[in-house]
Amino acid sequence: MNPQEQIAELTDRLNFYNYQYYQNSSSEVDDFTFDKLLEELSALERQYPEWARPDSPTHRVGGTISKEFATVYHRFPMLSLGNTYSEAELAEFDVRVQKGLNGASYEYICELKFDGVALSLTYENGILTRGVTRGDGVRGDDITANVRTIRTLPLKVNGSNVPPLFEVRGEGFLPLAEFERINREREDIGEPLLANPRNAASGTFKQQDSGAVAKRRLDCYLYSFLSEPEIFQTHEESLLVMKKWGLNVSPTWRKCGSFQEVMAFINEWETRRFELPLATDGIVIKINRYDQQRELGYTAKSPRWAIAFKYKALAASTVLNSVSYQVGRTGAVTPVANLTPVLLAGTVVKRASLHNSNEIQRLGVMLNDTVFVEKGGEIIPKITGVDLSKRTDASKPIDYPSLCPACQTPLIRKEGEAHFYCPNEKGCPPQLQARFEHFIQRRAMNIESLGEGKIELLIDRGLVHSPADLYELTVEKLLGLEKVYKDVETGKTRVVSLREKSVENILTAIDRSKTQPFSNVLFALGIRYVGNTIAEKLTDYFGNIDALRAASYETLVSVPEVGDRIAQSVVAWFADSDNQVFIERLRLAGLQLVTDRVAVEKKGETLVGKTFLYTGTFVNFSREELENEIEAHGGKVLSGISKKLNYLIVGENPGPSKVEKATKMAVTMIGEDEFLAMLSS
Ligand code: IVH
């Protein structure tokens, strides 16, 4: 096979695997093989950019960095929907439809109203060529590179009678599970949490670096099809054919022949919608036949043939009894409202987040106030307001503490941050406990048999002060330890006691943790902003703890994905003598402080602070060797042309689009010889 055929074969094969996986939930190959094939294709495409296909799965991993999005006009304006919260108004809509159709019979298609970001996607000759946000309805942002990262969206549709040009519209969203995963990761590194899946999705779609977008697994449900001339008679037909062509249509829609059936659908999904993998906020009701849609027509803003029925945000009112203050691993203090228990969306709510002191001020909430609690897209209920009509003399201002509620150290507020912090990192018990919990979690040292109150017990008995102490525990120290806990909320007592079996489990898990790879150990250390991914990047670059410890700020910022804030945090962490002792103790205990992955060997510092990208082929290096060479001399390889790029290294047969873009952005272009000269200068 020649390279062109090889590229075509790999593209088709990987697209087929993707389709099977995302549309039919069937795995044709294991992840490892898939990644290997993808890498192979990517390498071939870099070498022969002229043969790369527009539906190549390599587009899904991102890489394009756009300075700003181009504004593009929609072929057909993106309208909004009239909406209502009441059955009576919905019945009025139905009457208007009846009249508008002069008494002819009609059917509705009911769909869930997905709570995300409206997208318009254009396919030309079956290939996804454009993805645009709704914008103002007339013009939106061209976010093609970002929508290509959505795995369920076919880059090429296969089917019979596919028109040469068509557009599909749908809702881009962040699945709830993904939203929670991102927030867990953010919590790990002390980043503020994303408020809700909708904002998170909208923020992600507007990111300029599509590589970063690809890491958040966005998804999309399609709900309309547009082409000229129209090829379907009904909306139902369009949904069925879209599905058949591999376009992702949510299976939740239903054809309803009467207003009663519509109401039954609405009532059924009021609770069932919480079983779905994404946030929804209502139902969209559409006339099925296209000729009837045309007959009903449009108002200035929205169609007369469709309406949205929105569910009322689930809210309840209850009394704010007290505020507790929780101290997290990074020392951030979070106020939590303790409420008189109230039923909301089928669960009893006793606590709600108050976020920070600004939020308390914004709400103007006082103790003993009657407050409104809502469960929106967020997982944790929140207080949305105060029922002032019920305020009495019993209402008292909330005294925000000036001392840490756990260790009485004066709290501090850092410039530009909404949270107060307890600076007593080393002695504050909840910070200490959270640090242990971070250390033992599965993605770090995986000593989870120490969960459920056992760590608390060990800290309480003074057996451990630092995670390094875990490696000095023995049967004698542990056997027979016991503590009775009283749950403040329920008043129930719980006994944690260490008998032979659990002691054995704990010690085995601690021993086994010594084989956890270096990147896990690095993550376990709990350096602020060093989450799992960054720990891996640092591992790939430095290979061992000593090289990392010796790294300067300048070297650190040259590591892929490491920015100013992470670099500063790493330098400060290693400068602390207690942390140096900590590492030496972990070394003595036999933890992995060296990776067995092959690291790029350091060769010099001539490229420190410089960023590179390359195009074409080279005489002295394969592409991989070139990347290694750049990194070995302290340089950084970027994934696309942006204003951060210093040099484009141009080899033989360079990609014309890269060269053109670099010229436009005035990026310095150098040849292989100049690059060699830079290495040795
Ligand atoms: S159809 C003419 N169907 O709701 C408007 N929209 O308020 C056609 N949405 O901008 C829209 N789920 O972002 C339609 N199943 C669904 C929907 C849906 C969510 C959003 C969409 C639109 C907004 C209108």
CA of 284 to the centre of ligand 1 (A): 7
In a domain, 602, yes or no: no
* 93 CA from centroid of ligand 1 (Å): 17
Residue 236 lies in a domain: yes
For residue 220 and ligand 1, the question of a CB distance below 6 A is answered with: no
Which atom, in ligand 1's list, is nearest to the CA of 117? Answer: 13
Q: Determine the distance separating the centroid of ligand 1 and the alpha carbon of 82, expressed in angstroms.
A: 10
Is 606 inside any structural domain? Answer: no
Looking at the fold, whether 255 and 303 belong to one and the same domain comes out as: yes
Using a 6 Å cutoff on CB, does residue 80 contact ligand 1?
yes
Please work out whether the CB of residue 308 comes within 6 Å of at least one atom of ligand 1.
yes
> Rounded to an integer, what is the distance from CA 46 to the centroid of its chain?
28
Looking at the CA of residue 303, tell me the nearest atom of ligand 1: 2
Residues 147 and 88 in one domain: yes
Answer whether 273 contacts ligand 1 (Cβ < 6 A).
Answer: no
Q: Is 284 in the pocket of ligand 1 (CB under 6 A)?
A: yes
CA–centroid distance, 249 to ligand 1, in Å, is: 13
- At residue 293, the pLDDT reads 97
Do 104 and 221 lie in a common domain? yes
Rounded-to-integer distance, Cα 79 and Cα 607, Å:
52
Q: What is the 3-state secondary structure (H, E, C) of 336-391?
A: EEEEEEEEECCEEEEEEECCCHHHHHHHCCCECCEEEEEECCCCCCEEEEECHHHC
In this structure, are strands 71-73 and 611-615 parallel, antiparallel, or unpaired?
unpaired
CB of 81 within 6 A of ligand 1: the answer is yes
Task: Kindly give the distance from the C-alpha atom of residue 226 to the centroid of ligand 1, in angstroms, as a whole number.
Answer: 14
Distance, CA of 102 to chain centre = 49
Map residue 422 onto helix, strand or coil.
coil
Regarding the beta carbon of 212 and ligand 1, being less than 6 Å apart is answered no
163 Cβ below 6 A of ligand 1? no
Task: Summarize the annotated binding site for Zn(2+) as residue ranges.
Answer: 404, 407, 422, 428
**CATH classification of the domain holding 366:** 2.40.50.140
Exactly one of 36, 67, 99, 113 is catalytic; which is it?
A: 113
| Cβ 358 vs Cβ 364: under 8 Å | no
Helices 623-632, 31-47: inter-axial angle, 10-degree rounding: 90
Q: Which of 386, 421, 456 is the last residue of a domain?
A: 421
CA 405 to chain centroid, in Å, comes to: 32
Cα–Cα distance for residue pair 9/45, rounded to 1 Å = 12
Spatial CA neighbour of 251 closest among 147, 153, 118, 112: 112
Coil, strand or helix at 504: helix
Atom of ligand 1 nearest to the CA of 250: 15
Whether ligand 1 lies within 6 angstroms of the CB of 281 is answered as no
Contact 352, 336 (CB under 8 A): yes
| Atom 17 (ligand 1) nearest CA | 113
The domain boundary, picked from 515, 533, 558, lies at 515
Which structural domain, as residue segments, surrounds residue 88? 73-310
Which atom number of ligand 1 is nearest to the Cα of residue 134?
10
Check if 309 has its Cβ closer than 6 Å to any atom of ligand 1: no
pLDDT the model gives residue 66: 62
What pLDDT is stored for residue 346 in this prediction?
A: 64
Q: Are residues 522 and 624 in the same domain?
A: no
Closest ligand 1 atom to Cα of 112:
15
Cα 315 to ligand 1 centre (Å): 24
Distance CA 564, CA 570 (A): 10
In sequence order, the β-bridge partners of residue 119 are 133, 170
Question: What gap in Å lies between CA 203 and CA 494, rounded to an integer?
Answer: 44
288 with 385, same domain: the answer is: no
Which ranges in 454-607 belong to alpha helices (H)? 454-460, 475-478, 500-512, 518-524, 532-542, 545-550, 553-557, 564-575, 577-589
Q: Which residues contact 151 (CB under 8 A, 6 or more apart)?
A: 18, 21, 22, 60, 217, 219
Asked which of 491, 515, 539 is the last residue of a domain, the reply is 515
| CATH number, residue 263 | 3.30.470.30
Among residues 426, 430, 467, the alpha carbon closest in space to that of 450 is found at: 467
* pLDDT given for residue 315 in this prediction: 81
In a domain, residue 672? The reply is yes
CA-nearest residue for atom 9, ligand 1, is 113
pLDDT of residue 63: 58
Q: Is the peptide bond before 229 cis (omega within 30 degrees of 0)?
A: yes
Bridge-partner residues for 375, per DSSP? Answer: 314
Would you say 620 and 672 are in contact if contact means Cβ atoms under 8 Å apart? yes
Binding residue numbers: 31-35, 80-81, 111, 134, 171, 286, 310, 404, 407, 422, 428
Active site residue 255: no
Taking Cα atoms as reference points, which of 254, 303, 236 lies closest to residue 97? 303
CA of 434 from ligand 1 middle (Å) equals 43
- Residue 470: closest CA among 524, 531, 430: 524
In the chain, how many domains are there?
A: 6
Of 148, 143, 147, 145, give the one whose Cα is nearest residue 69.
Answer: 143
Structure tokens that stand for 272 in this block = 């069932």
The residue to which tokens 């001392």 are assigned: 403
Single-letter code of the amino acid located at 166: F
Does a structural domain hold residue 597? no
pLDDT along the chain (681 residues), means of 10: 91 86 70 82 88 85 68 89 92 96 96 96 95 90 93 90 96 92 79 80 88 89 96 97 95 97 96 88 96 92 93 86 91 92 80 87 94 73 90 93 94 85 90 92 91 87 94 94 77 85 94 95 94 89 95 91 90 95 96 80 85 88 85 84 88 83 87 90 78
Distance CA 545, CA 648 (A): 32
Contacts of 302 (CB under 8 A, 6+ apart): 79, 80, 81, 82
332 and 248 in a common domain = no
386 is written with which tokens?
């105060």
Q: Which of 23, 18, 22, 3 is nearest to 55 (CA)?
A: 18
601 lies in some domain: no
Going along 159-248, which residue ranges are E strands?
Answer: 165-173, 219-226
Phi, psi of 134 (to 5 degrees): -65, -40
* Ligand 1 center–CA 304 separation, angstroms: 14
d(CA 577, CA 468) in angstroms, rounded, equals 15
Per the DSSP assignment, residues forming a β-bridge with 483 are 496
Q: Which of 369, 265, 254, 273 is nearest to 314 (CA)?
A: 273
Give yes or no: residues 129 and 275 share one domain: yes
Same domain, 553 and 504: no
- pLDDT of 106 reads 97
> Is 459's C-beta closer than 6 angstroms to any atom of ligand 1?
no
The residue to mutate among 74, 78, 79, 80, having the most atoms of ligand 1 within 8 angstroms of its beta carbon, is 80
Give a three-class secondary structure readout of 24-39: HCCCCCCHHHHHHHHH
- The answer to whether the predicted template modeling score (pTM) of the entire model surpasses 0.75 is no
Binding residues for NAD(+): 31-35, 80-81, 111, 134, 171, 286, 310
Residue position matching structure tokens 């008292």:
396
Pocket test for ligand 1, best of 223, 248, 290 (most atoms within 8 A of CB): 223
Does the C-beta of 171 come closer than 6 Å to ligand 1?
yes
State the pLDDT at residue 215: 87
Beta bridge partners, 553, equal none
Kindly state whether residues 495 and 436 are assigned to the same domain.
Answer: yes
The CA distance from 178 to 422, in Å, is 31
Rg (CA), the chain: 29
CB atoms within 10 A of CB 328: 16
Query: What CATH number does the domain containing 615 carry?
Result: 3.40.50.10190
